[in-house]
Amino acid sequence: MKIFFEFLRCIYPDKMKMITDRNVYTLLPLAHEYNVEEMIKRCRQLIMQIVKNKHTGNIRELYRHIHLSELYNLEEVKEKCIYLASENTLHRIKAARTAYQISDASHYKIIEIALRRRELDKFDDEIFNVCNTKEETIKKNFDKFFGITCELKGHISTEGYSERDIYRALRLMERFKITENHKSIKSELIQRLQYVYDNGKYIEEFHLLPENIKESVQNKKK
């Protein structure tokens, strides 16, 4: 009864109570049962923020939210959690499945994306002979090593480089945690991608970028 009373207080304008991270998981099932679209929307937006702010590195929580999304048709939340979960090792993915029985389709999509990302890592390794190069050397000589040069005033020179080269550079910057002295490079690469990432030519490579990079590209376009 207490939960239902709180549900009503979140519906009526004169009683409008905030939906918070403390009540959203109890209100969502009621909003879904009674088909209150506006409340479902508010719950979905808040749960997406909770995932982004608290659970990006917690695969068990990601699986829990996929399970929740499948119960209440939160497709955007499910998609975000699937891609975040795919950044984990196969061992951790398998362990998370034992805790939360998400659908086979979602579980296999996570594994498929994880394997595809590892294929790209292997491809990058073969091109740049990363396996035989010390990580310190990679970080120190990033500009020369990966073919992205920085001009005076911090602008990127991408003459002769393709959109695919930019995807690869961003993947490798994230993979090797290359940040020091390269923040302006990373920022400009992200800015350049916002104009081309959704044209379909390399859309798969965009979706296989680390989630924090993808979100930065999409946010810059808004």
pLDDT tens readout for residues 155-174 = 444 455 678 878 888 888 88
Lowest-pLDDT range of 14-23, 77-86, 114-123: 14-23
The domains of the chain are located at 2-114, 133-221
Closest CA to 197 of 175, 179, 219, 174: 219
Cα–Cα distances in angstroms (integers) from residue 133 to residues 2, 117, 128, 140, in the given order: 61, 21, 9, 12
Burial class (CB in 10 A: 0-12, 13-18, 19+), 111: middle
pLDDT tens readout for residues 117-169 = 999 988 877 766 655 555 665 555 555 555 554 443 334 444 556 788 788 88
Mean pLDDT computed over 16-40: 89
User: With contact defined as beta carbons under 8 Å apart, do 22 and 43 qualify?
Assistant: no
The CA distance from 49 to 175, in Å, is: 24
With cut-offs at 50, 70 and 90, classify the pLDDT of residue 33: very high
pLDDT tens readout for residues 176-200 = 777 655 667 788 788 888 877 777 6
Ramachandran sector of residue 7 (left: φ over 0; alpha: ψ -120 to 50; beta: rest): alpha
Question: Which DSSP helix (H) or strand (E) runs through 157?
Answer: strand 156-157
Q: What pLDDT does 87 receive?
A: 95
pLDDT at 26 exceeding the cut of 60: yes
The SS3 of residue 49 is helix
Q: What pLDDT does 154 receive?
A: 39
pLDDT tens readout for residues 46-73 = 999 999 999 999 999 999 999 999 999 9
Report the share of the chain in percent with pLDDT over 70.
Answer: 73
Q: What pLDDT does 1 receive?
A: 56
